[in-house]
């Protein structure tokens, strides 16, 4: 153990107090060390720090980089700014060959206005990191199974549609199949993502409209997408995707006269204040005289209104000259 300097102790501690302080630090349950100099050499380490499962036991005068190389940049920053910092989720391979995860607090030891040393305290969070990794694995598996189950439901609805004699009933089954497939796509995205709870909505929207474009092409329609890249939580993406599915499908079917080509433009943009807007626009014949989207009783419009309300948004239709633009405004 390296004693504290007389100068450091004289202001507040006598000789006996200094010995008591050093004994307390030595027996503290938290791993602590004092690092000095630009090469980050150990000046002091307590018992808890010496017991850390490093590849080699820290010795006074050794360079910290030999055992904890990932901490060097953080120490340089503390020395440069004389401000405390935390390095989270620092991974180190221990002498046992296992990966250990630590959170490290770094506090400057200042003298004459600059940090000449750094006090580091290390907290083992390996168990928490392992539990988090296990939870992420479970979420990944859940999303995979939900996606598979929804695809099975979609297949059953398709079979039911094919066996239906009534054209209207067949159409309803096909629309239900499309809605189920839209939700399945979200869970596929969650399964593939790194967070398992958020979806890159811009990329997802482009993929969704590409799939909807398959059936649109048969009717001579094209779908153009302009979307900001933003990550949205799954409980926002699913209702928003269903709204897109309804509005785009509606525009593909009804915006233009049968046999006439036309474009459906889909936009999703985030404002500087965090508000978001979804638009689905066409250059077709426009809505019928007196048509009110707030009162329309078709299932598609009911779905759009219900999920817009769930997202605490506002839904409206406005002229596109020619055509119609449907707008869903979402709060920040």
Q: What is the average pLDDT score of the chain?
A: 85
Q: pLDDT category, 15, cuts 50, 70, 90?
A: low
**Alpha-carbon torsion (17, 19, 20, 22), positive or negative:** positive
At residue 43, φ and ψ (nearest 5 deg) are -105, -30
Q: pLDDT category, 126, cuts 50, 70, 90?
A: confident
Res. 117: pLDDT tops 50: yes
Q: pLDDT category, 64, cuts 50, 70, 90?
A: confident
Q: What are the tens digits of pLDDT across the range 49-59?
A: 888 877 677 88
Q: pLDDT category, 16, cuts 50, 70, 90?
A: low
Out of 1.20.1050.10, 3.30.365.10, 3.30.565.10, 3.20.20.10, select the CATH number for domain 215-332: 3.30.565.10
Biggest CA pair distance of the chain:
97
Q: Whose CA is closest to 49, among 107, 120, 117?
A: 120
Res. 100: pLDDT tops 70: yes
Using the CB atoms, write b or e for 137-154: b if 16+ within 10 Å.
eeebeebeebbeebbebb
Cα distances from 199 to residues 1, 30, 191, 237, 298, in angstroms, run 52, 39, 10, 7, 30
Instruction: Please give the structure tokens belonging to residue 194.
Output: 């790194």
Would the pTM count as exceeding 0.95? no
Q: What is the mean pLDDT of residues 285-304?
A: 92
110-113 CB contacts, 8 Å cutoff, 24+ apart = 110/82, 113/82
Q: What is the mean pLDDT of residues 70-77?
A: 86
Distance separating alpha carbons of residues 146 and 325, to the nearest angstrom:
34
Alpha-carbon dihedral of residues 230, 323, 262, 179, nearest 10 degrees?
50
Return the pLDDT at 8: 43
Give the residue carrying structure tokens 């039911």. Answer: 160
Return the pLDDT at 216: 83
Q: What is the crossing angle of helices 234-254 and 201-218, to 10°?
A: 20
Give the residue carrying structure tokens 């005068």. Answer: 61
Distance separating alpha carbons of residues 43 and 71, to the nearest angstrom:
16
Return the pLDDT at 114: 54
Mapped onto helix, strand or coil, the DSSP state of residue 206 is helix
Instruction: Please give the structure tokens belonging to residue 167.
Output: 């054209």
156 Cβ neighbours under 8 A, 6+ residues apart: none
Q: What is the third-level CATH fold of 6-124? A: Beta-Lactamase (3.30.450)
94-100 CB contacts, 8 Å cutoff, 24+ apart = 94/52, 94/53, 94/54, 94/55, 95/53, 95/54, 95/55, 95/56, 96/53, 98/53, 99/126, 100/52, 100/53, 100/124, 100/126
Task: Look at 5-9, 48-52, 115-119, 258-262 and tell me which has the smallest mean pLDDT.
Answer: 5-9
Q: What are the tens digits of pLDDT across the range 161-217?
A: 888 889 889 888 988 888 898 888 888 888 777 777 788 999 999 999 998 888 788
């Amino acid at each position: 153990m390296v004693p504290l300097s007389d100068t450091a102790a004289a202001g507040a501690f006598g000789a006996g107090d200094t010995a008591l302080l050093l004994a307390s630090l030595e027996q503290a349950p938290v791993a602590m060390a004092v690092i000095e100099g630009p090469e980050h050499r150990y000046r002091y380490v307590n018992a808890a720090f010496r017991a850390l499962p490093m590849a080699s036991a820290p010795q006074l005068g050794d360079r910290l980089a030999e055992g904890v190389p990932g901490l060097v940049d953080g120490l340089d920053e503390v020395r440069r700014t004389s401000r405390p910092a935390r390095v989270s989720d620092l991974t180190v391979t221990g002498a046992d060959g296992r990966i250990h995860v630590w959170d490290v607090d770094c506090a400057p030891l200042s003298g004459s206005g600059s940090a000449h040393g750094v006090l580091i305290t290390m907290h083992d969070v390996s168990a928490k990191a392992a539990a988090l990794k296990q939870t992420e694995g479970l979420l990944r598996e859940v999303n995979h199974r939900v996606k598979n189950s929804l695809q099975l439901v979609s297949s059953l609805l398709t079979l039911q549609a094919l066996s239906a004699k009534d054209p209207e009933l067949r159409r309803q089954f096909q629309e239900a199949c499309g809605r189920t497939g839209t939700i399945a796509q979200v869970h596929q995205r969650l399964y593939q993502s790194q967070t398992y709870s958020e979806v890159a909505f811009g990329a997802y929207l482009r993929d969704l409209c590409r799939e909807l474009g398959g059936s649109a092409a048969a009717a001579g329609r094209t779908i153009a997408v302009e979307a900001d890249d933003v990550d949205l939580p799954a409980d926002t993406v699913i209702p928003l995707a269903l709204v897109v599915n309804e509005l785009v499908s509606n525009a593909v079917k009804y915006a233009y006269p049968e046999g006439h080509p036309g474009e459906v433009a889909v936009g999703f943009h985030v404002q500087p204040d965090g508000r978001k807007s979804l638009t689905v626009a066409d250059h077709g014949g426009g809505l019928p005289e007196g048509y009110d989207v707030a009162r329309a009783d078709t299932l598609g419009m009911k779905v759009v209104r219900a999920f817009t309300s769930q997202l605490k948004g506002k839904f409206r239709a406005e002229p596109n000259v020619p055509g119609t633009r449907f707008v869903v405004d979402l709060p920040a």
